[in-house]
Amino acid sequence: MTDASSLISHLVELRNRILRALLSVLVVFLCLVYFAEDLYHYLAKPLLEVLPENSSMIATDVASPFFAPFKLTLVLSFFLAIPYVLYQVWAFVAPGLYKNEKKLVVPLLVSSTLLFYAGMAFAYFVVFPLAFAFFTSVAPSGVTVSTDISSYLDFVLKLFFAFGVSFEIPIAIILLCWTGVTDAQTLRTKRPFVIVGAFVVGMLLTPPDVISQTLLALPMWVLFEIGVVAGSMYANKKEPEDDDPSATDSTQ
């Protein structure tokens, strides 16, 4: 097979993998779109429960009542389809990996997905109730708290993403240790800087209140410690590289 035909076959496979990933998102979206309003109500529940009496969420744009639930459903569809999307990524890159790399990638894909979901769940069930209760309690006298539904959606999606990505810290540390960029002992010596950095990141990624900043910084610190332990284990188990990965595939 010539280089040109090999490149074309890889591009065709890449296109097919992308189309399958997009199709999975579309299928999940079609299953959820009927429940779009219920999903938005469930997302808004942490705020609705702490709003003052006779107060509610509002829509300042004419199309917001339609587009806000629609946007939430689309984003949620992508989040739910992530396992299949990552599988398509894995299926595309797997033929070019060494045997010991394949053993590492599959657990990392699974654990990274679960950690991202865990970060979102932590934000919804722990951070949102505390942060929204704080925001509504500090409103100046005479100010009625009535949050726009689109602004609220953008706000919580940013927090979901911030907490989801922050919970990936162990995965990042394992990769750094496994590739030899750093090691567990070096990371342990950097612990004071990591703790300070966690609170700085918490300050930048969360609303300007001590509660949500601390609730992001503390899990990041704990996840760093978990990542250091796991990284040392993976570094110790690293095996010598196999022969050319294409040779490995030809034996299968």
Q: Count up the domains in the chain and report the number.
A: 1
Quick count: other Cβ atoms within 10 Å of Cβ 16? 13
Percent of the chain whose predicted confidence (pLDDT) is above 70 = 87
Q: At what angle do helices 99-122 and 149-166 cross, to 10 degrees?
A: 140
| Other beta carbons within 10 Å of 40 | 22
Residue 62 in domain: yes
For residue 160, is it within any domain? yes
The predicted model scores a pTM of: 0.79
Task: Give the residue with greater pLDDT, 209 vs 133.
Answer: 133
pLDDT band at 252 (very low <50, low <70, confident <90, very high): very low
Per residue in 156-211, pLDDT (tens digit) is 998 898 888 888 888 888 888 877 777 778 888 888 888 888 888 777 766 666 77
Average pLDDT over residues 114-132: 89
The verdict on residue 252 lying in a domain is no
Q: Which domain holds residue 211?
A: 3-246
pLDDT digits (tens, 9 = 90+) for 234-243: 765 544 444 4
Give 36's pLDDT tier (boundaries 50, 70, 90): very high
Neighbouring C-beta atoms of residue 215, cutoff 10 Å = 19
Residue 251 lies inside a defined structural domain of this protein: no
Average the pLDDT over 56-61 and give the result. Answer: 84
Query: Looking at the domain assignment, is residue 135 inside a domain?
Result: yes
